[in-house]
Chain A
Amino acid sequence: DVKVTQSSRYLVKRTGEKVFLECVQDMDHENMFWYRQDPGLGLRLIYFSYDVKMKEKGDIPEGYSVSREKKERFSLILESASTNQTSMYLCASSTRDSSSYEQYFGPGTRLTVT
């Protein structure tokens, strides 16, 4: 089974702190994604990566950056956390294989910024 793991399930940080969220997948997937999930808004794409060291902005990249130094690992960085970044963060991966476009998700990190 595909496994996507995230470094923390729950995280509490203070305003202005630098926050690192890490995601690791074990299926050699080329594509990796970071979303945030808020009630009534569904999933919104922050950043995605289709290869090592490659990154593309999603719909809401402001206040975030990402790093992908290895194929299996995709990190989301909040440079200076703010209260409006309190949310559930979901990582996902997928292959480029045209028969298998579905995404596989990690369990999520619920981040609270106080």
Chain B
Amino acid sequence: AQSVAQPEDQVNVAEGNPLTVKCTYSVSGNPYLFWYVQYPNRGLQFLLKYITGDNLVKGSYGFEAEFNKSQTSFHLKKPSALVSDSALYFCAVRDMGGTYKYIFGTGTRLKVLA
């Protein structure tokens, strides 16, 4: 079965420091991977995706993610965190088993401290 794991419920980082939010996945075949962000009382917003190509993917708001096939990871990164980056972040993988389903991780709450 395909799955996504976000091992950290919460990540705290000081403003201006680099941040990493971790995601590992388990799929059969080539993965389609996504990161979404959710601000309080809002729906999820798409940040970036990996379909194929370069392992380093750049997305919205200065975020990037590195696809690592050998470690089955897709960690979200940003070189310099902002207080406004504080939100709930979800990693997701698209089911490649012939359906249009997506599997989401449980979410990681990022708190950027001023």
Contact = CB atoms under 8 A, between A and B. Distances in A.
A43 B44 CA distance: 10
Which of A4, A96, A104 has the most chain B CB atoms inside 10 A of its CB? A104
Query: What size tier do the contact residues of chain B reach?
Result: 20 to 34
Interface residues of A, number: 30
A104 B46 contact: yes
Given A90-B43, A104-B46, A107-B43, A42 B100 contact: no
A106 B38 CA distance: 11
Interface in A75-112: 90, 92, 94, 96, 98-99, 101-108, 110
A43 B100 contact: no
Given A43-B90, A102-B34, A108 B42 contact: yes
Given A92-B44, A106-B43, 6 more contacts: A40-B9, A42-B106, A90-B43, A103-B46, A105-B43, A108-B41
Interface of B: 9, 32, 34, 36, 41-46, 49, 51, 90, 92, 94, 99-102, 104-107
15 contacts: A33-B102, A40-B106, A42-B90, A42-B106, A45-B102, A48-B101, A101-B49, A102-B34, A103-B34, A103-B44, A105-B44, A107-B42, A107-B43, A108-B42, A110-B41
